[in-house]
Structure 1
Amino acid sequence: MKIAVIGTGYVGLVTGTCLAETGNEVVCVDIDLKKVQKMQNEEVPIYEPHLDVLFERNIQGKRLRFTTSLDEGLSHGDIVFLALPTPEDEDGSADLKYILGVANEIGKLIKSYKVIVDKSTVPVGTSEKVREAIAKNAKCDFDVVSNPEFLREGFAVDDFLKPERIVVGSNSNRATRLMEKLYKPFVRSGNPVIIMDEKSAELTKYAANSFLAAKITFMNEIANFCELVGADVDKVRIGMGTDSRIGKRFLFPGIGYGGSCFPKDVKALHKSGKDSGYDFQILDSVIKVNQKQKTVLIPKIKNYFNNNLKGKKIGVWGLAFKPETDDIREAPALYIIYELLASGATITAFDPEAMENVERKLGNKISFAHGMYGALEDADALVICTEWGIFRNPNFNVMKELLRDNVIFDGRNLYDPQEMKEEGFHYESIGR
């Protein structure tokens, strides 16, 4: 099938590459000329495990190509995916200017039937707005479909190629048949393609992300309460997770959720509720608790240093909002770094993938190490913000040689407190 993907951000690039992997001819469109030229030269603009292999293979197989021409993409694609950014607006709502701007242009350019697919995460009712924007200028038939993505950063390629489910929102039999044909290779094991109306599909994505964010936030509150009463959140988590009604996933406490999805989507659903006269009280609490949780380590750090961080050198492990990505959007590490800098500390940080992005954001406000142990040289303490695999089994003897004082503040509960005590570390984590 012939596919166009408008927008080559995280979702668009993974979508286009994985659709090409099943034999489709894909043209990806982006207005950023430098980015398009890099991709044409087989340079992947984001870090996502396994994406580079598929990316290169499909470019070389001439199933995947890139252009800045919207007209070229629309002329090629029978199915056109809109994978455009929906950034958080000042009032917390999703800003639809990019999607509606492109929709307006699509109406002027299409000359034959197209299925226009909203792949971006969008509020309820967006399909109608896209349809109206296209219809103003369109002189041919088209359908608008909602097809939300459920990709986890760090696992996006696997999630796309082996989806748990695919949600398609459409009242058009013609569009639905094309979407089912497109996704048939991805659900051969029997996982469902769920057909529903557009509004229900749009809400499904927001509801799923908001529920998971609430689950994380609840466990963070339990962890904070564990510290007050002397309970161990790891034991509580295991006791809860073995209940099949609850499940084991998203029960790990820490320093809050970040990234491009959960923060934005929770706020957008909360704002959509207000606009419709409904108060999502649970989401209001989730937003407030998560914001506070991002800096929950700061009082522990200040208390250890008697509220005087001036001149203290802090090593930081992990900058990305989660492991296996270079995404720093709403990363808890940044909130912790801002607080430490404001208190007079200096920082040397290490992350396997995200340092370049942080350097673009912070410049020379902090230093960056070439390796994980380099961040510890002459540091008064280590703060762990992201649970990268390489941090899980470090050489504690090397760490003790490099640190001025054997102090670790662990925002991801990577180590056993008793073992750390035996190793000679002052070790503080979350909820234990």
Structure 2
Amino acid sequence: MRVSIVGSGYVGLVTGMGFIKLGNDVVFIDIDDEKIKMINQATPPIYEEGLEELMKEFKGKYYATKDYHEAILNSDITFICVGTPSGEDGSIDLTYVKKAAEEIGKALREKEGYHVVVVKSTVLPGTTEEVVKPIIEEHSGKKAFEDFGLAMNPEFLREGVALRDFLNPDRIVIGVKDEKTRQILEKLYEPINAPKLIVDIKTAEMIKYASNAFLATKISFANEIGNICKRLGIDSWKVFEGVGLDHRISPNFFKSGLGFGGSCFPKDVKALIRKAEETGEEPLILKAVIEVNEKQPLKLIGLLKKHVPELKGKTVGILGLAFKPNTDDIREARSIIIVEKLLEEGAKVIAYDPKAMKNFKRLFSQIEYANSAQEVLEKTDVILIVTEWPEFEELDYSGKIVIDGRRIRSAEKTAKIYEGVCW
């Protein structure tokens, strides 16, 4: 099939390359000239495991453009994969979604035949039908579910293993209203062997939010229990090893530490809180999830000051800047809160991350960046471990004060002074 993808960030690029792997032709639509140039040169504008190899392997089966008309007139299905960032009040910003809907509508005005538009961006229940649908109808002069298809197909991709998740998902959720659109999307996803849940559009939107909110809740719950365990002298990781063996609970997302970051969990939980409040509901659990998560990184600083009471003028090493390993994404990364606090205390910072330093420099040009993790160890005796990159397990931390937010076992074994956040 011929697929067009609006937005070539983490979701759009992985989704598009996944469809190419399944035998489809794809055109990416983006407003960023540099991204377009890189994609057309088979160079990924983001880091994602396996993405560069896939882009080189299938070069010629895809291209990128700014031209909505060209892309939509030469495709059967269009996926909206643009960002939905948080506003200051927690509500989602639909600017990019609305603009995409408008441009799609203008292109559809010139197109004959049935074209399916699929919202893959994370949007609150009601958005596809109450926001996207009227915009496309206005600019196309056509009627949804009759002249063109409209669906919601949430993504459940984990950064770092996103391509693997796309091709081997736990489930595929398709929110549709008309039979023709359902059949087209079922055909598109036919090569993937996974449960396919067909629901109405609003339910599909809510499944995404409920999933992310629950996973975020597990993390904050683990951290709250971990904080109690720390005070009682109990290893919370052993506690959750025991808890996770219960098949009703499972061990996933029970690693206590610094909390969650990234482009999804923080903004999605905040958006759901805001939406709940608009309906008159008080989401007490969700509010607590965010509160625990925002305080958690500061536990690292508190433990550091126990061993180094005066941080002013002290050089502190940071290992890991990305919000998780195997990505260069620093959105809502715990490292941001930690570095801000260190600078506020007057400390000097030297940091290293295998992939995320270029992005981090845009926020913090004033700190020093090392060429390797070993260089950080050579330049300071005080180390904070913020992201669990595998290479940090290969270091010898002898003679160092290590405050660990991610349970790096080699640091636990070799450091002169070792403190874990929740163990």
> What TM-score, normalized to structure 2?
0.96
User: 1:77 is matched with which residue: 64, 75, 78?
Assistant: 75
Alignment CA distance shift 1:297-1:58 (3 Å):
same
SS class of match (2:373): coil
Once residues 43 and 69 of structure 2 are traced to their aligned partners in structure 1, the CA distance between those partners, rounded to angstroms, is 24
Check the 8 A contact 2:383/2:403 in 1, yes or no. yes
Once residues 82 and 255 of structure 1 are traced to their aligned partners in structure 2, the CA distance between those partners, rounded to angstroms, is 32
Q: Which residue of 1 aligns with 2:245?
A: 242
Q: Which residue of 2 aligns with 1:98?
A: 96
SS class of match (2:118): strand
Q: Which residue of 2 aligns with 1:10?
A: 10
Q: Which residue of 2 aligns with 1:336?
A: 338
Q: Which residue of 1 aligns with 2:204?
A: 201
Once residues 418 and 134 of structure 2 are traced to their aligned partners in structure 1, the CA distance between those partners, rounded to angstroms, is 58
User: 2:405 is matched with which residue: 384, 404, 411?
Assistant: 411
Check the 8 A contact 2:86/2:271 in 1, yes or no. yes
Check the 8 A contact 1:320/1:327 in 2, yes or no. yes
Alignment CA distance shift 1:347-1:245 (3 Å):
same
User: What CA deviation, in whole Å up to 9, does each residue of 1:124-146 have, x standing for no partner?
Assistant: 11111211111113244112100
Displacement of 1:360? 1.8
Displacement of 1:413? 1.5
Once residues 161 and 87 of structure 1 are traced to their aligned partners in structure 2, the CA distance between those partners, rounded to angstroms, is 26
Once residues 265 and 197 of structure 2 are traced to their aligned partners in structure 1, the CA distance between those partners, rounded to angstroms, is 23
User: 2:256 is matched with which residue: 242, 253, 256?
Assistant: 253
Check the 8 A contact 2:401/2:415 in 1, yes or no. no
Please tell me the residue identity of whatever aligns with 1:165.
R
Alignment pair present for 1:221 and 2:224 = yes
SS class of match (1:179): helix
Displacement of 1:416? 7.3
Displacement of 1:105? 2.3
Once residues 261 and 106 of structure 2 are traced to their aligned partners in structure 1, the CA distance between those partners, rounded to angstroms, is 38
Check the 8 A contact 2:97/2:132 in 1, yes or no. yes
Alignment pair present for 1:179 and 2:185 = yes
Check the 8 A contact 2:26/2:62 in 1, yes or no. yes
User: 2:308 is matched with which residue: 295, 305, 308?
Assistant: 305
Displacement of 1:65? 0.9
Please tell me the residue identity of whatever aligns with 1:427.
Y
User: What CA deviation, in whole Å up to 9, does each residue of 1:66-103 have, x standing for no partner?
Assistant: 11111111111111000011010121011111111221
SS class of match (1:178): helix
Check the 8 A contact 1:348/1:368 in 2, yes or no. yes
Check the 8 A contact 1:295/1:332 in 2, yes or no. no
Check the 8 A contact 2:6/2:79 in 1, yes or no. yes
User: 1:427 is matched with which residue: 408, 418, 422?
Assistant: 418
User: 2:267 is matched with which residue: 264, 270, 293?
Assistant: 264
SS class of match (1:294): helix
Please tell me the residue identity of whatever aligns with 1:429.
G
Q: Which residue of 2 aligns with 1:280?
A: 283
Percent identity over the alignment is 44
Q: Which residue of 2 aligns with 1:120?
A: 121
Check the 8 A contact 2:262/2:329 in 1, yes or no. yes
Displacement of 1:431? 2.1
Once residues 192 and 379 of structure 1 are traced to their aligned partners in structure 2, the CA distance between those partners, rounded to angstroms, is 51
User: What CA deviation, in whole Å up to 9, does each residue of 1:231-250 have, x standing for no partner?
Assistant: 22122111101000110110
Please tell me the residue identity of whatever aligns with 1:149.
E
Once residues 192 and 235 of structure 1 are traced to their aligned partners in structure 2, the CA distance between those partners, rounded to angstroms, is 33
Unaligned runs of 5+ in 2: none
SS class of match (2:116): strand
Please tell me the residue identity of whatever aligns with 2:118.
V
Displacement of 1:7? 0.7
Alignment pair present for 1:137 and 2:139 = yes
Q: Which residue of 2 aligns with 1:28?
A: 28
Check the 8 A contact 2:303/2:421 in 1, yes or no. no
SS class of match (2:79): strand
Check the 8 A contact 1:260/1:330 in 2, yes or no. yes
Q: Which residue of 2 aligns with 1:319?
A: 321
SS class of match (1:43): coil
User: What CA deviation, in whole Å up to 9, does each residue of 1:54-73 have, x standing for no partner?
Assistant: 111222xx211111111111
SS class of match (1:335): helix
Q: Which residue of 1 aligns with 2:86?
A: 88
Displacement of 1:230? 2.0
Displacement of 1:155? 0.6
SS class of match (1:272): helix
Check the 8 A contact 1:86/1:122 in 2, yes or no. yes
Check the 8 A contact 1:6/1:82 in 2, yes or no. yes
User: What CA deviation, in whole Å up to 9, does each residue of 1:30-70 have, x standing for no partner?
Assistant: 011122012111211000000111111222xx211111111
Displacement of 1:424? 5.7
Comparing 255-264 and 133-142, the one that deviates more: 133-142
Alignment pair present for 1:159 and 2:162 = no
Displacement of 1:122? 0.5
Displacement of 1:333? 1.1
Once residues 166 and 138 of structure 1 are traced to their aligned partners in structure 2, the CA distance between those partners, rounded to angstroms, is 29
Check the 8 A contact 1:130/1:144 in 2, yes or no. no
Once residues 384 and 139 of structure 2 are traced to their aligned partners in structure 1, the CA distance between those partners, rounded to angstroms, is 55
Alignment CA distance shift 1:151-1:309 (3 Å):
same
Check the 8 A contact 1:79/1:115 in 2, yes or no. yes
Once residues 151 and 424 of structure 1 are traced to their aligned partners in structure 2, the CA distance between those partners, rounded to angstroms, is 36
Q: Which residue of 1 aligns with 2:174?
A: 168
Please tell me the residue identity of whatever aligns with 1:63.
K
